[in-house]
Amino acid sequence: MEECMSMDELRRTLRARSVILRHARPPLHIAIWTTHGLERKVTQALRQHRVRLAALLAVSDVRTCPAPGLHRASFYYKGQGLYICGDCERLARWVEKRVC
Ligand SMILES: [Zn+2]
């Protein structure tokens, strides 16, 4: 059986390909924004790490920020070991009002 990507490897791959993940309804679902297809190993890894990724996306955790180089100034510490991307948080709220 093909070995699946680790969560870190998956996040690096998605960033390198400008893939944006978004928390979606129902809970623990993920919307994928990309302008091109994803390889099978990437979709398998997304499936494998979906629950953990969805939980991070739900709170705009910095680990799911697709553009840390651009958003870093908005990062803030929320407490309990949680670092949030303020820009992703604002985008998620904006999308939530218009798409969901
Ligand atoms: Zn961000």
Is there a domain that residue 48 lies in?
yes
Q: What's the number of domains the chain is made of?
A: 1
Å from CA of 30 to ligand 1 middle: 16
Is there a domain that residue 2 lies in?
no
Structure confidence at residue 29 (pLDDT) = 85
pLDDT tens-place string over residues 13-72 = 999 999 999 888 777 889 898 988 899 999 999 999 999 999 999 999 999 999 999 999
Beta-bridge partners for 6: none
Is there a domain that residue 61 lies in?
yes
Å from CA of 2 to ligand 1 middle: 31
Q: Is the pLDDT of residue 1 over 80?
A: no
Mention every residue, 6+ apart, whose C-beta is less than 8 A from residue 77.
Answer: 83, 84
Å from CA of 14 to ligand 1 middle: 13
pTM: 0.85
Is there a domain that residue 77 lies in?
yes
Is there a domain that residue 1 lies in?
no
Containing domain of residue 69, as a range? 7-98
Is there a domain that residue 57 lies in?
yes
